[in-house]
C-alpha cells in the first residue's frame, strides 16, 4: 500500500457531513486504458483470482465547504481501470481503519488471490465505492462484509490522491466494548496491533505506520 499521497481534503467528517452527487453518464476512458484494463482482468483470471470486472466510482470533483461538509462528484466507471499501471483514472476506494475500545488497531493480511496488495498486511477494511453509494456507506459496508462487525463510531478522515491517480476516502471506526470480529475469505490472518504504532510488529510496514500517524494527528 503506497501512501505517497496528496491530501485533497482533511476531516474529520461525521457521516452526515459527507455528500455525494452521482453523474448519470458512465466514464468513457481512452482506448489504451480500456485495453490495459482488459489485460489486467485477464491476468487476474490466469493466476486463479475470482476477481471480476464491474462498475465502481471515480472522482470527478470535490468541494470542502466552509460549514465543514465534504461534497464529492462521482461517476460510474469500470472497476478494472484501477488496475491500469500508472493511471487509475481517479478510481475511488474507501479505507476504514478499525480501532477497538482500547485503541488497538485491527490489521489483516490480505489473501494471495486478491487484485490489490496480495499477501500484504493492511489496516481495517476497504474496497471500491459502488455506484450510487456514498464513501461513508462503503466504509460501513466493507467493515460488515470483511469483519462481520458494526462500528460504535464512524467518521471520515481524509480524501487522498495517490501518485497513480487512485483516490482514497479514508475513514476511522471505533468498535463497541466486547465486539468480536470474524475474518472473511479476503484475509488469511489477522491481529490486534497496539494503540501505539511504535510498538507494532515488524510486518507493519512504513506505509501503514504513516497511515496511523495521519489518523492520529490533529486535523488542521
**Which pLDDT tens digit goes with each residue over 99-129?**
999 999 999 999 888 777 788 999 999 999 9
Q: Can you give the pLDDT at residue 52? A: 75
14 is written with which cell numbers? 461525521
Instruction: Report whether 163 contacts 5 (CB < 8 A).
Output: yes
**Which of 191, 126, 132 lies closest to 160 in space, CA to CA?**
126
Residues 6+ apart with CB under 8 A from 158: 7, 9, 10, 11, 169, 170, 214
Q: Could you tell me the residue ranges of all domains in the chain?
A: 6-216
Q: Can you give the pLDDT at residue 68? A: 95
Which ranges of the chain have pLDDT less than 50?
1-2, 220
Q: Which CATH architecture has domain 6-216?
A: Alpha-Beta Complex (3.90)
Q: Can you give the pLDDT at residue 53? A: 86
Q: Can you give the pLDDT at residue 3? A: 52
CA 18, chain centre distance (Å): 16
Amino acid at each position: 500500500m503506497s501512501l505517497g499521497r496528496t491530501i485533497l481534503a482533511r476531516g474529520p467528517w461525521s457521516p452526515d457531513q459527507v455528500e455525494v452527487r452521482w453523474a448519470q453518464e458512465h466514464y468513457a476512458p481512452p482506448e489504451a486504458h480500456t485495453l490495459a484494463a482488459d489485460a489486467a482482468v485477464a491476468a487476474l483470471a490466469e493466476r486463479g483470482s475470482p476477481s471480476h470486472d464491474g462498475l465502481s466510482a471515480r472522482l470527478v470533483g470535490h468541494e470542502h465547504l466552509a460549514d465543514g461538509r465534504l461534497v464529492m462528484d462521482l461517476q460510474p466507471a469500470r472497476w478494472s481501470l484501477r488496475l491500469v499501471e500508472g493511471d487509475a483514472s481517479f478510481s475511488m476506494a474507501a479505507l476504514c481503519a478499525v480501532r477497538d475500545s482500547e485503541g488497538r488497531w485491527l490489521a489483516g493480511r490480505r489473501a494471495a488471490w486478491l487484485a490489490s496488495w496480495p499477501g500484504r498486511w493492511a489496516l481495517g477494511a476497504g474496497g471500491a465505492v459502488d455506484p450510487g453509494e456514498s464513501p461513508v456507506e462503503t466504509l460501513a459496508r466493507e467493515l460488515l462484509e470483511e469483519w462481520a462487525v458494526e462500528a460504535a463510531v464512524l467518521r471520515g478522515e481524509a480524501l487522498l490522491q495517490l501518485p497513480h491517480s487512485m483516490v482514497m476516502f479514508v475513514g476511522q471506526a471505533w468498535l463497541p466494548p466486547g465486539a468480536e470480529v470474524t475474518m472473511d475469505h479476503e484475509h488469511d490472518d489477522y491481529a490486534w496491533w497496539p494503540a501505539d504504532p511504535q510498538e507494532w510488529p515488524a510486518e507493519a510496514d512504513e506505509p501503514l505506520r504513516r497511515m496511523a500517524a495521519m489518523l492520529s494527528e490533529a486535523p488542521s
